[in-house]
Amino acid sequence: MKKVFAFLSTLVLTIALVGVFAVNNPAKAADKFTEDPTLLDDEIAVYIMDSIMTTFPNYYDNDAKEDPNWQGTARMYPWNETRLRVAQLDESGQPTGKYYAVYFSGHTTAVDTNGEPIIGAGKNILFYQKNEAGQVIATKFSDGKQAANGAASDPSLSHMRTNITGEDIEFDPTQLGLGDEGTNYYNRSIVFNAQGQVIRGIGLDDQYTSGEGDYKFAPEYCYVDGAVTKIEDGVVCDKVMEDLVDEEGNPVMDENGETIQVPTDEDRMFYSRFVWEFFEEAPENVNEVGYLADGWDPNLWDYCYERDGGYICIAFVGNADNSAHIIKGDQITAYIKTLMAQGKDEAEATQIANNTTRACTRTYRIPAGGFVYDFGFLDRGLAATNEFFKSTVLNGYLYGRTQLAKKDANGEEVKDEEGNSVMIGIAEQRTYNFSVTGLTFDDKVIDGASYQLLAGQNVVEVMQGNVFNPVKNINYNGIMRYWGVQDDLTSYTASSEALEFYIDTITNGGSSLSQVAPSTGYTSIEDIKNDFLAAVAKHRGVEVSEVPFDTAANWHAWWGWGTFMATSEANATNPDGTPNDKYPEDSPAFFNVKENRDAWAWLIDRIYQTMLAYPGGDTYTGTLANIEKAAQSFYCPSPQGINYAIWYFLNGEAHTYFGFNFGDGNNESWIDPRTNLEKWEQYTLDATMKAPNENWVVTFKVLNTSTNISSSLTIKYVVVDSYTPIINVNKDNLFYIPNKQGDAVVCNPIDQYTLVNAYDAQYNGVNILGNDVTQYVDFDTDLDFANPKEGTYPVTATIWNNAHTKKASVKFNVTVRDITAPNVTTRRVVIQQGDDFDCRDGIVLAVDNVDGDLKNATFTWWEEVSNPVDTVNLNPGEDMQLTIRVNVYDKSNNVRSVDYTLVIVADKYVEENLTTAFNDLNNQLTSLKNIVNDIYDTQETQDRLIKALQAQINELFELVENNNVTNNKNIDELKDVVADISAKVEGVQTTLDENAKGGCKNSAVLVLEIAGAATLLALVLRKRH
């Protein structure tokens, strides 16, 4: 069957590595990030062990943004690139618009035995299947292949297992050999059907209570006449009983000496962990008596009732260990009674009961396409995972059959063919091609010659005379590992079947030519012409025989202006990239029809490539430019140019005027029966007849047609007659620690040839790098290798080839650790009382042997060790002398401690200034009281004012008498307060005058204003002392 394809436009060739491009591809795997690129705005991340670093150990930049939840290098579980997305519901069961995004582990370590990063994608994918005998088995897949063991890679972590049998299955999980995953199913597992509705779960002890807190719901069962009964309309619960007590609080006894019990107002509720399951039809295996009542059978569900269009059944299982499916305690007692009532003696009944499990809970029912979420031990108790689990446990039971609109990977609602929202349950499984990587270049020896990238360049040297296949260096493994069908957990593959391979080459700066492309499936030009004319006839609504393809002129005349191909880009393609099928309006041009464009775009590109390969003609340049537009953008300014190009190419004839050199088989030289992969693998570069510096710029491209992810890599291959040598830095040898011998610092000589390794790049049969030529390296540096001193020294190391025509250089720093403390000189410092002081005032010089003058440094080089200095509070009239200690540091944290003397000279005029200030204040307050006496004639008002002011005035003068206010700084502050109070006095006087004239302000308000002014002074005084 012929394969037709749309050949992609010629790539823009740059000497650079081009990364992966993908529709909805969240990130390039090589990038480190601090924000999860896979997480949507509406999602709440539930990482493995609640840690983004644990989940993305090879991608998350923990140095840039530390993950507080990461528990160290022992907790590295690379994500397998599957997720469970579960809607968050509020307390009434309505969606909040947020979704829990639950990640799963693909591996238990971050790197392999060689230290290479491990990609967890497609690993640890868990399924339920059936064996040849029809028995349900647990399987595990990695890289699309089934593993020998079906258990999770780390069963202590949360994981997800899917039923891929294609049918509904029933089984006992304890019999699948899954250990804890099997026996703990009742305790931590939630079952979803294929639509994502919750159909089985648990009610946890700490949720199924009436207590306060998140994720709680009221109990649904109580005791009625001692029997466990579902609470419904009309049910009257027993009351909790308590001891009857007398007036003194002592228990009241009956005639038999037993404590008398009386009912309280509290209903007697029943609390127990339980397993529940949703059935579309009423099951028959349900107890006909209440829980633990006479005749109770542990193999049956305890209760079953209608809900959500089906039936919810529950079975109480008691405690939370992994033996809860085994009955115990009061369950054993009740079942013994049942068995004895059936005719068993007590011994037999006891033996049976002690070995009975709850068969109803042990039977797992998973619909086709359904899946199980298992909450792992290592995830328990962690904030986000615990929140998700408890919320889903609760909402799964109450509202798990809810349906919501499905959203795609971009957060947009998915619509069906009729435009209606696609509805799903509260959960769905998703896959991500997050770690798909682009093409990489692997240094290799090919046919006895080395091919490796020059340092820092995408350039490879090719020895003159060699012929080789460059694709042997191109690694495309990263793009061939992917989820073939989005959100299908069975679709992960590591295969090249969906890959298309392309190679374009520019030789010595010429035009780009396509060398490798997907096979068209054609083996002759005649077949191409027949299929093309059939497509043209279909487009024009005629028979093939009616297409005038006998001459180029007739063919061209048959088409109107722009009806074969548009003549402008605007007429060819819509802004969104789709063909403009409305041009011309009466009937779209042949290449404006998507079907035609997809089927025959490659033909236009092949015509263009052939013109590049066989140039020449009177109007060749202009015609080539027009055909290039046709090949790349589906329009041609010259209708005759494109029409004639088609005719001459398909008929294998030349037109020298236009430059159509399609004769002599040039039009079919490209036809190749080999497969696309065969052409890729057999592509060669031949340097046998090439001179030095001739070159090829080769662009390799691989497209994954399943994921629409593509990657390109451009390499320049240069012909040489000698290789550029190679030089690498030994990073482990760049740091040296000197020794101290007494006060002297001694550093041993440095062997400069241990700093680098140099090679001649000529493969020697052992090492791809060639022979070691480190002894010929030249070093340019101020570092004296024989007598090194402390400091960091830039070094340039250079190696030449034998002919001294090519060199390679590296630059790096060598550090001789600074272990010498700075030299520091101090002085005696004298300041006035109240002056500001900085501990650096006493440092005259601070000079380091490496860092220089520290007083000009941009880092903090000082630390005051002595106690903080109070330059204000001195004994009146007495100077103060202190010893100041300062630590002086250099950048290497070497420290020198120094001491110097600080003298604080006391202010001699404090008392005089204070006395003057306080006298002024007292006079103003006295004046205020006189004003009040003049206006208010009641003794009560005067007494209230004096009482309000007297305490502050007394405190003021007490401070003066005891010399507690001791400097000009205090004086200045008090003067400000005095001025403020004076202003208030004047304001009050004005108010009092107005009041005397009939103003409305009363005496109580005025007293408060005056008292407030005085209080301001008191606050200042207390603050200062």
- CATH number for the domain including 828? 2.60.40.10
Are both 927 and 894 inside the same structural domain? no
The per-residue pLDDT for range 952-971, each reduced to its tens digit, is: 555 555 554 444 454 444 55
Quote the CA–CA distance of 700 and 463 in Å, as a whole number.
Answer: 21
pLDDT at 991 over 90: no
Taking a C-beta distance cutoff of 8 angstroms, is the pair 499, 476 a contact? Answer: yes
User: Average pLDDT of 484-499?
Assistant: 90
The per-residue pLDDT for range 40-70, each reduced to its tens digit, is: 999 999 999 999 999 999 999 999 999 999 9
pLDDT at 6 over 50: no
Are both 767 and 632 inside the same structural domain? no
Q: Which residues contact 953 (CB under 8 A, 6 or more apart)?
A: 922, 925, 1014
Quote the CA–CA distance of 1019 and 956 in Å, as a whole number.
Answer: 11
pLDDT at 387: 87
In the structure, what pLDDT confidence band is assigned to residue 917 with cuts at 50, 70 and 90?
low
Are both 787 and 829 inside the same structural domain? no
**Among residues of the chain, what percentage have pLDDT more than 70?**
83
Q: Please report, as a single letter, which amino acid is at residue 746.
A: V
Q: Using alpha carbons, list the distances in angstroms from residue 356 to 181, 323, 350, 713, 782.
A: 20, 11, 10, 66, 85
Query: Do the domain assignments include residue 218?
Result: yes
Query: Do the domain assignments include residue 18?
Result: no
pLDDT at 269: 87
Query: Do the domain assignments include residue 552?
Result: yes
pLDDT at 414: 85
The candidate with the shortest Cα–Cα distance to 724, out of 687, 754, 674, 759, is 759
Among the residue ranges 415-419, 550-554, 891-895, the one predicted with the least confidence is: 415-419
Q: Is 331 helix (H, G, I), strand (E, B) or coil?
A: helix
Are both 351 and 243 inside the same structural domain? yes
Handedness of CA 152, 154, 156, 159 (dihedral sign): negative
pLDDT at 946: 53
If you ran DSSP here, which 8-state letter would residue 407 be given? B
Among the residue ranges 199-203, 211-215, 396-400, the one predicted with the least confidence is: 211-215
User: Average pLDDT of 538-557?
Assistant: 96
What does residue 1011 show for φ and ψ, rounded to 5 degrees? Answer: -60, -35
Tokens of 844: 């005259």
Are both 215 and 354 inside the same structural domain? yes
Peptide linkage before 584 cis (omega within 30 of 0): yes
Query: Do the domain assignments include residue 892?
Result: yes
The per-residue pLDDT for range 725-774, each reduced to its tens digit, is: 999 999 999 999 998 888 788 889 999 999 999 999 999 999 999 999 99
pLDDT at 499 over 80: yes
pLDDT at 916 over 90: no
pLDDT at 679 over 70: yes
Among the residue ranges 193-197, 464-468, 485-489, 870-874, the one predicted with the least confidence is: 870-874
Taking a C-beta distance cutoff of 8 angstroms, is the pair 276, 200 a contact? Answer: yes
User: Average pLDDT of 509-525?
Assistant: 89
pLDDT at 704: 92
**Residue written as tokens 């990587």?**
437
pLDDT at 926: 64
Tokens of 234: 């009309």
Pick from 813, 835, 866: which residue ends a domain?
A: 813
The per-residue pLDDT for range 687-726, each reduced to its tens digit, is: 999 999 999 999 999 999 988 889 999 999 999 999 999 9
Taking a C-beta distance cutoff of 8 angstroms, is the pair 611, 660 a contact? Answer: yes
Are both 970 and 835 inside the same structural domain? no
User: Average pLDDT of 657-677?
Assistant: 92
Query: Do the domain assignments include residue 107?
Result: no
Taking a C-beta distance cutoff of 8 angstroms, is the pair 623, 658 a contact? Answer: yes
**Residue written as tokens 């994720």?**
215
pLDDT at 650: 97
Number of domains in the chain: 5
What is the Rg, in whole angstroms, of the alpha carbon atoms belonging to the chain? Answer: 45
Query: Do the domain assignments include residue 268?
Result: yes
**Among residues of the chain, what percentage have pLDDT more than 90?**
60
In the structure, what pLDDT confidence band is assigned to residue 589 with cuts at 50, 70 and 90?
very high
Query: Do the domain assignments include residue 803?
Result: yes
Question: What count of residues does the chain have?
Answer: 1025
Quote the CA–CA distance of 189 and 201 in Å, as a whole number.
Answer: 6
Give the rounded distance of the alpha carbon of 81 from its chain centre.
Answer: 12
User: Average pLDDT of 11-20?
Assistant: 29
User: Average pLDDT of 443-454?
Assistant: 94
Residues 873, 875, 876, 877, Cα dihedral to 10° = -110
Are both 571 and 629 inside the same structural domain? yes
The per-residue pLDDT for range 63-115, each reduced to its tens digit, is: 999 999 999 999 999 999 999 999 998 888 889 889 999 999 999 999 988 88
Q: Is 420 helix (H, G, I), strand (E, B) or coil?
A: coil
* Mean pLDDT across the chain: 85
pLDDT at 11 over 50: no
Are both 954 and 878 inside the same structural domain? no
Structural domain boundaries enclosing 331: 203-272+290-300+319-363
Cβ atoms within 10 Å of 593's Cβ, excluding its own: 16
pLDDT at 681: 95
User: Average pLDDT of 648-665?
Assistant: 94
Pick from 781, 813, 845: which residue ends a domain?
A: 813
CA-angle at 785, arms to 784 and 789, nearest 5°: 55
Tokens of 542: 């005629």
pLDDT at 943 over 80: no
Strand partners, 812: 795
Are both 808 and 759 inside the same structural domain? yes
In the structure, what pLDDT confidence band is assigned to residue 164 with cuts at 50, 70 and 90?
very high
Pairing assessment for the beta strands 778-781 and 791-800 based on DSSP bridges: antiparallel
Residue 127 vs residue 997, higher pLDDT: 127
Are both 352 and 248 inside the same structural domain? yes
Pick from 905, 934, 958: which residue ends a domain?
A: 905
Query: Do the domain assignments include residue 492?
Result: no
pLDDT at 183 over 80: no
The per-residue pLDDT for range 768-808, each reduced to its tens digit, is: 999 999 999 999 999 999 999 999 999 999 999 999 999 99
For the chain, the 3-state helix, strand and coil shares in percent, each to the nearest 5, are 25, 30, 45
Are both 245 and 359 inside the same structural domain? yes
The candidate with the shortest Cα–Cα distance to 924, out of 985, 865, 863, 880, is 985
pLDDT at 952: 54
Q: Please report, as a single letter, which amino acid is at residue 350.
A: T
Are both 344 and 230 inside the same structural domain? yes
